Amino acid sequence: MQNKGLVKFFAILFALVSIYQLSFTFVAEKVKDDAKNFAGKDPQKEIKYLDSIGKEKVFLDFFTYNEVKDKQINKGLDLEGGINVILQISVKDVLKQLSNDSKNPVFNKSLEDATRNQVGNQSYLDAFFEAFDANKGTTTKLASPDIFANRNLQGQIDFNMSDSEVKKVLVKKVDESVESAFGVLRSRIDKFGVTQPNIAKLGQTGRILIELPGAKDVDRIKKLVSSKAELEFWETYKAEEFMLFIQTANESLKATVKSDVKADEKVEAAKPEDSISKLLTDKNEDPATAKKGNNPLLDKLAILNGGPIIGVASPKDTAAINGYLKRPEIRNLLPADKRYVKFAWGKPNVKVDEKTKKETETVELYVLKGNRDNAAPMSGGVIVDARDTFDQMGKPAVSMQMNGQGARIWEELTGRAYTQKSYIAIALDDVVYSAPGVTSGPIAGGRSEITGSFDVAETKDLANVLRAGKLPADAEIIQSEVVGPSLGEIAIHAGLISSIVGFLLVCLWMVFYYGRAGWYANAALLLNLLFLFGVMASFGFVLTLPGIAGIVLTLGTAVDANIIIYERAKEELREGKPLGEAVIASYGWKGAMRSIIDANVTHVLTGTILFVFGTGLIQGFALTLLIGIFTSLFTSIFIARIFIDRDIANNRNLTFTTNLTKNWFTGFHFDFIGVKKWSYAFSTLVVIVSCVSFYFNGLDEGVDFVGGRTFQVKFEKPVEPTKISEELSAAFGTTVEAKVFGSEDQLKLTTKYKIEKEGVEVDKEVNDKLFEALKKYYGPNMNYDKFINSYDGKNLGVLQSSKVGAAISADIKTNSFWAVLGAMLVVCLYLVISFRKWQYSLGALAAVAHDVIFVLGVYSLLYKYMPFHMEMDQHFIAAILTVIGYSMNDTVIVFDRIREFLAGEKKGHFKDIVNASINTTLSRTLNTSLTMILVLLIMFIFGGDSIRGFIFAMLIGIIIGTYSSLFIATPVLVDTMSKKDVEDIEKRHGN
């Protein structure tokens, strides 16, 4: 080998760099362990400890903990535990804002059509453009004065511009809105208090990924990231001004609405306790209770007698009350001077009965002075600072400081409130947090305070979002995943076991089959793992459970290049060449190198497609596969060669065999082409059975493809899935599927309940229903927070949950289809270029299509009966793409040998040459497949329930891929070769 010294230099250099990079991970983990020991089981104390030592030097007396933390290998949520959400910035809202809330019917119809007709992988903006082009006719333009040629876009769009010119401006403005949202969310997340948060824009989709490792409070975090944070200050009416209206509205509703409240039911309101500062005070009187009867409005709304609050209601009744008050015939009952009144609900209040300890939740209905534009007199844009603090009573509060303009408006508002003895409502995202009166005249200086029924965490979050500013549009959570820390520990344990056992089995097999040369391959394999982890640490890649699966798979594939080289070297030795010449020939381009390159290019192509079309954990799997391909090529080709060349230099005998295996697969002459009728018949039967199963059984499409929510729930004792499914289906009013997940006391629950609706409120409603339906299966100490939220050591309740919205599930399904199809076509295109004949590509395509149908057929036939989940999801698509890569790999090795024999002096008929090609590569094919199957079996047994279906698909795929390479790809090649080409081949080879 030329430049042996240079190879050694780079190998040592890469090893040292890898060890150096990995050392940061070891140091960071040690510091975290110290923090856990210090904090006990208090996560907040642990975070404070880590924050306190952030700037202390902890490594080499040079690097601080913050620097060490940034350089370590980051663990994904499935290993660390935490919360992951994907937010969709509402482009529809952005367009409405840019149009100045246009009332143009074509514009608004196009918005609705875009919402309804948007297809998978299509952006909302493109769907809007498509809808507008279909609806605009001959007169309406995007640059119309009542659409985008308005004051909001003055100087950027004028009415003379064409639609194509306006579209370019809109694309830019939407991108700016997403960038603005990204900045706001970044600011919020950075101050939230979790270690190593991650926030990233997902291409040009308008979607933002937020990962919070170690975060545990599910509802709080979802509210934090999705809150628009639109702060508004409203003047209010007095409740007594609307008493007649409420009575009249109730009487009017009696004609069309029948009350569903029993006569003896009552609702009590909690007394509001809000203040802005010592100058502001409430004047709310105690609530009255309303006798229930046939009163549609008053049976749901308990009337108050003063202040800015009309009455109180149960949260479950607010939707109905809103519906009543929005009815045109009810709005017409309002006095002319109050026709723009804005009704708004307050922050929920919880009242606890001292005797029964029963909690009652109510919300207050405020009357705000609206206007034609529905715009508040002052918005949160004037806030320059916000801090969590405590009021004069020692209760948590938020203080705010306004800019000069805001201070002037604030002085005017408080002056009017003082003069009119009225109130000022402070609303965030249309929820009134407080509505105090002014007792001591106008307030100058622009400082104010929000108080209410807060806890410390709420005031911290509120101050955080006010400082960060409001989002430019609604941010809807279209996908989320919550993983408990206990599951992360289990996943790490399972990953370590499968990695170690897989590594040992591959090493033992290589030594058993190749003797001392096997030890050289193992040394290269060990160095390969060091390089792989070193690269991940150097570039800040995230390690996930599928990523660990990718690493373990790398163990199986890393020895593949060594197997190809060793098998070629054995052939050269059998032909009588000395060891040195045999090694040179085996490492040459005409030896093993062309096969190695062709095989690994197919891997790289499928891995790249998987990375491009995959998301989240699947990208982690693809990334480790791609890194492993390049590191294994370097170590297999160059590192093992160093040891082999040393043996040659020292005249040591190296046979690449052991006494037991030296004659395995030698002199093997099976007629693979001769049995093609039987293989065709078997494969045709498989395809037919699979297609029939697709028609009758279908496939178990997971929430990734159809949308929905899943919960992994651990019970105190074994439960009956059918019973749980029935109870939850009754509670949700729609089907809830329950399946055993691992042990008998653990279920995976799946539902599509309200999946088409977005919002934190819907997620909270689902969690509430789930807890209420299942709490009877737990002891008295189980409450909502323990059941839903994560905490260290949690082993009961919801251990993991995920949500995939309808919009993103359509994208995932579309991406998956194109990923599989694209992988097959791209690899086949490469084979056409590499082999110069389309018949090779067709043979490979037939084999791969056969393998994909076979795996899909197995899943269709067995998903109802197997004790583990066999869902069609992103993990399954990753498995299919991996199968495509390995099937192509096996096929390419055989095709390379056929090409070599056809270009050489091999004698015989075309079919004989093809058979010889298969037989002479059989040892390599079976060796590679066996190491892969061993590794996959280990992962299937030890890898954990969450990836068992994923591993099973690859296991079946590798087995059937080996079969198709031998019995499908080459027969198709033979049968499609033209008669003229066959005659030319046989003439050249002596027949």
**986 contacts: CB under 8 Å, gap ≥ 6:** 909, 910
Please say if the pLDDT value at position 793 is more than 90: no
Mean pLDDT of 645-649: 84
pLDDT band at 569 (very low <50, low <70, confident <90, very high): confident
Residue 684 is predicted with a pLDDT of: 92
Quick: pLDDT tens for 200-242. 777 666 777 777 776 666 666 777 777 666 778 888 988 888 8
Mapping DSSP onto H, E and C, the string for 87-142 reads: EEECHHHHHHHHCCCCCCHHHHHHHHHHHHHCCCCCCHHHHHHHHHHHHCCCCCCC
Mean pLDDT of 97-110: 87
Neighbours of 166 (CB within 10 A): 23
Give Cα separations from 494 to 501, 740, 874, 953 (angstroms): 11, 19, 21, 19
3-state secondary structure of 150: coil
Residue 343 is predicted with a pLDDT of: 92
Mean pLDDT of 253-277: 53
Residue 536 is predicted with a pLDDT of: 81
The least confident of 423-432, 563-572, 752-761, 775-784 is: 752-761
The answer to whether 233 and 376 are in contact (CB under 8 A) is yes
Residue 260 is predicted with a pLDDT of: 56
Q: Which residues are registered as beta bridge partners of 88?
A: 207, 476
pLDDT band at 895 (very low <50, low <70, confident <90, very high): confident
Write out the H or E segment, with its range, that includes residue 8. Answer: helix 4-39
Please say if the pLDDT value at position 468 is more than 80: no
Taking alpha carbons only, the member of 922, 904, 935 closest to residue 967 is 922
Higher-confidence residue of 151 and 492: namely 151
Quick: pLDDT tens for 433-449. 878 777 777 888 878 77
Residue 272 is predicted with a pLDDT of: 41
Q: What is the mean pLDDT of the chain?
A: 79
Distance of CA 383 to the CA centre of its chain: 34
Q: Where are the alpha helices (DSSP H) in 863-909?
A: 874-903
Quick: pLDDT tens for 386-400. 788 887 777 888 787
Please say if the pLDDT value at position 905 is more than 70: no
The answer to whether 972 and 842 are in contact (CB under 8 A) is yes
Please say if the pLDDT value at position 685 is more than 90: yes
Using only C-alpha atoms, what is the Rg of the chain? 34
Mean pLDDT of 284-301: 62
Burial of 162 from C-beta contacts in 10 A (0-12 / 13-18 / 19+)? exposed
Give the CA-trace dihedral at 804, 810, 813, 818, to 10 degrees: -140
Mean pLDDT of 535-560: 73
Mean pLDDT of 156-182: 84
With tokens 């390089």, the residue in question is 531
Please say if the pLDDT value at position 54 is more than 80: no
Write out the H or E segment, with its range, that includes residue 386. Answer: strand 383-390
Please say if the pLDDT value at position 263 is more than 60: no
Residue 269 is predicted with a pLDDT of: 41
Higher-confidence residue of 606 and 452: namely 606
Higher-confidence residue of 192 and 657: namely 657
Higher-confidence residue of 84 and 58: namely 58
Quick: pLDDT tens for 908-961. 788 888 888 888 888 877 887 887 888 788 878 876 666 777 788 888 888 888
Quick: pLDDT tens for 955-984. 888 888 888 888 888 898 888 888 887 788
Please say if the pLDDT value at position 283 is more than 50: no
Quick: pLDDT tens for 515-535. 888 898 888 888 888 888 888
Taking alpha carbons only, the member of 562, 567, 381, 376 closest to residue 471 is 381
Share of the chain above pLDDT 90, in %: 2
Higher-confidence residue of 743 and 680: namely 680
